[in-house]
Structure 1
Amino acid sequence: MELLKKTVGEIRPLDKSAMEAARNRIDSLIKPQGSLGKLEELSVQLCGITSKMHPGMGKKAVLVMAADNGVCEEGVASAPQIVTTVQASNIADGITGVGPIAKQAGAEMVVVDVGMAVPTKNPKVLSKSIMNGTSNMAKMPAMTRAQAIKAIEVGIETANDQIGKGVGAIATGEMGIGNTTTSTAVLSVMAGIDPYEITGIGANLPLEKVKGKAYTIKKAIELNRPDRNDPLDVLSKVGGLDIAAMAGIMLACAAKRIPVIIDGYISTVAAIIASEIEPLVKGYMVPSHSSFEKGAAAASRYLGLSPMLNMELRLGEGSGAAMMFNIMECAIAINRDMITFEEGGIDVV
């Protein structure tokens, strides 16, 4: 708990003076004002995060948190839990969806076992397991409050380690069979939305089983009665270890004043938890893409951040977030390399 408290206590607002200076420069660049849309807003945000007019991203990393969910006992997922173990290893080897995207962006892949049911023997997967998967939330709380906090701190520790190695931008990712179920449960509680309205197919769950998945989520919420005003209570009762660890990554990035890229549905739910713990963390978040998962739009609306891309992705793993590294480089480049009207000798009325 001490690491979490320390990290939250270090989070400060974005640098408004740096943002104002960046906005003034961007508005005077040799283009119509606002013509580069969200790229301009991102450029200003990065200046506010780093307190630099021309920030550099430094090294890049995709941090993938892998964990299993006991609620899979209820038949809410189409794949067996061993897939979490297999895919965590494959992600670490760079041969799943996120691998080529991260490689193209020049980003390091870091995979952490924060709570898989079956640990992998792949040495590339960092072992920081809290427990061998959560308990079945349809029968009892998914984990204890202490375990939820420890999982958050695993995320903080992992991010801090990468930042200490010179990483200046982090993308969040996850791997865990059943984690659209836990994400939907958390979102349902936090946003006050009926599970039947936001429950989707996840990793290709047959449509005829989606109602049963929603029923399981509703049952878990009614059984555990999580306190919407206490994000740690919600996380521990109906959340997942991967969600907790990603929330920790986001808090750590904000504390160290570097941008953190939010991936799709599950990452956005983790962002909700992080922002409920400390609202200032939202200023450091870069939302990447609009996930095609059913509850994703509601999650983004509740978080209050609009994703920059809409490519109908729903893979997870940090695959959409990894695409944002290149876009962030573009946002930095326009402010750094474009000239202003004044510098071009052009008078503008």
Structure 2
Amino acid sequence: MSDLEARFHDLLSQIVPVDSAAAERARARQDQLTKPPGALGALEDLSVRLAAVFGSERPTPERAAVIVCAGDHGVTDEGVSAFPASVTPAMVANFLMDTPSGPGGAAVNALSRSIGARVYVLDVGVNAALPESPRLIAAKVRSGTRNLRREAAMTREETLQAVFAGVRAAEQAIADGADLLVAGEMGIGNTTPAAAVTARLLALDPADVTGRGTGVDNAQLDHKITVIRDALARQASAPTDPLGVLADLGGLELAAMLGVMLAGARARRAVILDGFVEGAAALIAVQLQARVRDYLFPAGLCAERGHGAQLAYLGFSPLFDLSLRLGEGTGGVLAVPLFRAAAASLREMLTFQEAGLLGD
């Protein structure tokens, strides 16, 4: 076992269970608030889960950070995307540029500004030189993955290097005051590795978990499924080794998002999942360390075909369905106000007793 892998297993061992006693107190308080029990629907369950994560029946998650993990993919050589790989560095530059409205000109920037969330951009594998920016965390492991149709996308060491880049980015966001971490990604072609990882870990047919990504037509979709079938047919990884599956079939930004999730769980922060690519990283995280699941929270159901299967496996119900398929962490950002509202219901609503509404 390498030193990096030993550190990785140590990280997994440091993730403790959420506070079940705080969850019980939160549930009891929700049932006594000045409303019919269950009247706030899914917000009540969300508030109880937040109480467990933060260890208080009056949780105060306020500051949100989005960590956009970026990397390129060798499998784009197979024509699996409607856009060329050159779009990845172009979009990362868009995340970083100064605009009249503030830092960044992409959807994740605009949506994050609307809720006061800070955006961090983590380069773990973009196949280009990127502009210098105080908002860029430069941690390039290699300039894109290998072509997963033909060979393993990454070595195990490269995978772990990307994981720890994600860990460090999450630690930076937490040190800057983040309570809620949104895992986001940018990488043209990355729904192909996400589908391959999902198919292998859940033992599903690639056709059942492969969507249109950037908007491929029917012929391109069929080809994309064939590419994934060929990658799986190499039989170079087993579901019993989730880290090996990530190295074989995944992406550098998937590995970095895994690191964000593990670091968030270790620090007892809530990690909000955006969509399908994040879901693939979450499958790996939970199979590596089951305790991580209680620190992960779904945002909305995205339009990628396999996202529902991921959420079903994880036991999550999405908070909304807006037919999103952009990535970047946009769905996670949109969920942040719901998390703040759920926590506020526990903190700020009065119980019947506190409001003096109980009869003699």
TM-score of the two chains, using structure 1 as the length reference: 0.97
Q: Distance in 2 between matches of 1:179 and 1:201?
A: 11
Q: Distance in 2 between matches of 1:59 and 1:29?
A: 25
Report the equivalent of 1:141: 152
The Cα of 1:256 is off from its aligned counterpart by: 0.3
Q: Distance in 1 between matches of 2:27 and 2:269?
A: 19
Report the equivalent of 2:53: 49
2:91 to 82, 87, 96: 87
What is the CA deviation profile of residues 84-115 of structure 1, one whole-angstrom value per residue up to 9, with x for unaligned ones?
Answer: 00101212332111111111111101001110
The Cα of 1:341 is off from its aligned counterpart by: 1.2
Q: Distance in 1 between matches of 2:7 and 2:63?
A: 24
Report the equivalent of 2:131: 121
1:210 to 207, 221, 227: 221
Secondary structure at the aligned position of 2:144 is classed as coil
Further displaced range: 335-344 or 282-291: 335-344
* Paired AA for residue 260 in structure 2: I
* Paired AA for residue 185 in structure 1: A
Q: Figure out how many residues of one structure are paired with residues of the other and give that number.
A: 349
Contact 2:166 2:258 in 1 (8 A): yes
State yes or no: 1:38 paired with 2:42: yes
Which stretches of structure 1, 4 residues or more, deviate above 3 A after TM superposition?
A: none
Secondary structure at the aligned position of 1:310 is classed as strand
What is the CA deviation profile of residues 261-301 of structure 1, one whole-angstrom value per residue up to 9, with x for unaligned ones?
Answer: 00011011111111111110010111001001111111211
Q: Distance in 2 between matches of 1:92 and 1:282?
A: 31
| Cα distance change, pair 69–34 in 1 and its aligned pair in 2 (3 A) | same
RMSD: 1.4
Report the equivalent of 1:60: 64
Contact 1:29 1:338 in 2 (8 A): yes
Q: Distance in 1 between matches of 2:210 and 2:176?
A: 39
Secondary structure at the aligned position of 1:113 is classed as strand
1:112 to 80, 105, 122: 122
What is the CA deviation profile of residues 232-286 of structure 1, one whole-angstrom value per residue up to 9, with x for unaligned ones?
Answer: 1100011111111101101101100010100011011111111111110010111
1:97 to 102, 107, 125: 107
Q: Distance in 2 between matches of 1:207 and 1:341?
A: 57
Ranges in structure 2 where 5+ consecutive residues have no aligned partner: 98-103
* Paired AA for residue 109 in structure 1: V
State yes or no: 1:71 paired with 2:75: yes
Report the equivalent of 1:257: 268
Report the equivalent of 2:293: 282
Q: Distance in 2 between matches of 1:347 and 1:61?
A: 41
* Paired AA for residue 64 in structure 2: K
* Paired AA for residue 69 in structure 2: M
Report the equivalent of 1:270: 281
* Paired AA for residue 295 in structure 1: G
The Cα of 1:161 is off from its aligned counterpart by: 1.5
Secondary structure at the aligned position of 1:215 is classed as helix
State yes or no: 1:309 paired with 2:320: yes
* Paired AA for residue 201 in structure 2: M
Q: Distance in 1 between matches of 2:38 and 2:151?
A: 51
Ranges in structure 1 where 5+ consecutive residues have no aligned partner: none
Report the equivalent of 2:187: 176
Q: Distance in 1 between matches of 2:20 and 2:38?
A: 19
